[in-house]
């Protein structure tokens, strides 16, 4: 079985991933800024590291702590809510550090090891928000678009290397406390997916050797399709208005 390293593992989707990985017999190494990750590690017979991914030495500490990980799941992320021009520079820098730089540098560190070893999987948890404008949550949506684009590039670079895989998840909204904890309203909570279901699909894709972008949930599939078929201005107007209404 594999050793799976998961960031943002104390709550929500990260916790669901840890539980599903443990259920399938994998060992887990869990990272989160919250001490709640220790309880998840105890529940899943794993190890935990309480760490702020925005810290300058975060990546070095993680790679020293979990040098033998077989699967890296970049799940941690934060949200800034508000009109872009009202967001603070400090807030923006922190979001970029956690949502962009941490997965970028962790992917770089572990990909080098995976290539040398001839085996390993990188999973970047993006979002259906990669496909549509996110007024009021602009930097968050942009950071997810970055993860999707980066994943596709890494997939192209590694597609001839046996045993090395890059997977990007673009799930629709899940019923976690992620949105509410960041002050994000969702008026359609009844359509949110169960994170346990998404974790099951994710681990199935990892174990099945899947690569590339995977869309989980009707909203993700629909937005991906609409972006391809609608005129750009119409798509931006319709989806931007819809997202703004529910945020």
Going residue by residue through the chain, which has 247 residues, state the pLDDT in tens, using 9 for 90 and above: 899 999 999 999 999 999 999 999 999 999 999 999 999 999 999 999 999 999 999 999 999 999 999 999 999 999 999 999 999 999 999 999 999 999 999 999 999 999 999 999 999 999 988 777 788 899 999 999 999 999 999 999 998 788 999 999 999 889 887 655 545 555 455 578 999 999 999 999 999 999 999 998 767 666 666 667 667 676 556 666 666 665 5
Residues 107 and 154 sit within 8 Å (Cβ to Cβ) = yes
Q: What total number of domains does the chain contain?
A: 1
Q: For CA atoms 169, 147, 37, 188, give the dihedral sign.
A: negative
Instruction: Map residue 213 onto helix, strand or coil.
Output: strand
CATH number at residue 129: 3.40.50.720
For the chain, what is the radius of gyration of the CA atoms? 17
**Half-sphere exposure of residue 24: CA atoms within 13 angstroms, side-chain side:** 21
Range of the domain at 232: 3-246
Question: 53 Cβ partners below 8 Å, 6+ apart?
Answer: 7, 31, 33, 76, 97, 98, 102
């Amino acid at each position: 079985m594999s050793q799976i390293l998961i960031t943002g593992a104390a709550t929500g989707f990260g916790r669901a991933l840890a539980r599903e990985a443990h259920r399938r017999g994998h060992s887990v190494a869990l990272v989160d800024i919250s001490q709640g990750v220790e309880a998840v590690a105890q529940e899943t017979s794993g190890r935990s590291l309480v760490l702020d991914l925005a810290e300058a030495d975060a990546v070095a500490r993680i790679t020293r702590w979990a040098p033998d990980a077989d699967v890296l799941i970049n799940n941690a992320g934060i949200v800034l809510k508000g009109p872009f021009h009202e967001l603070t520079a400090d807030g923006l820098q922190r979001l970029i550090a956690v949502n962009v730089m941490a997965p970028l540098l962790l992917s770089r560190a572990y990909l080098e090891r995976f290539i040398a070893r001839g085996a390993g999987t990188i999973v970047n948890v993006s979002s259906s928000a990669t496909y549509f404008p996110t007024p009021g949550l602009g930097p968050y949506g942009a950071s997810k678009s970055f993860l999707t684009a980066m994943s596709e590039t890494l997939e192209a670079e590694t597609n001839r290397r046996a045993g090395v895989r890059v997977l990007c998840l673009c799930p629709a909204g899940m019923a976690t406390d992620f949105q509410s904890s960041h002050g994000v309203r969702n008026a359609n909570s009844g359509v949110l997916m169960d994170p346990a279901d998404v974790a099951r699909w994710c681990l199935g894709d990892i174990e099945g050797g899947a690569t590339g972008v995977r869309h989980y949930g009707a909203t993700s599939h629909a937005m991906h399709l609409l972006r391809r078929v609608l005129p750009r201005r119409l798509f931006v107007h319709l989806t931007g208005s819809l997202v703004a209404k529910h945020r």
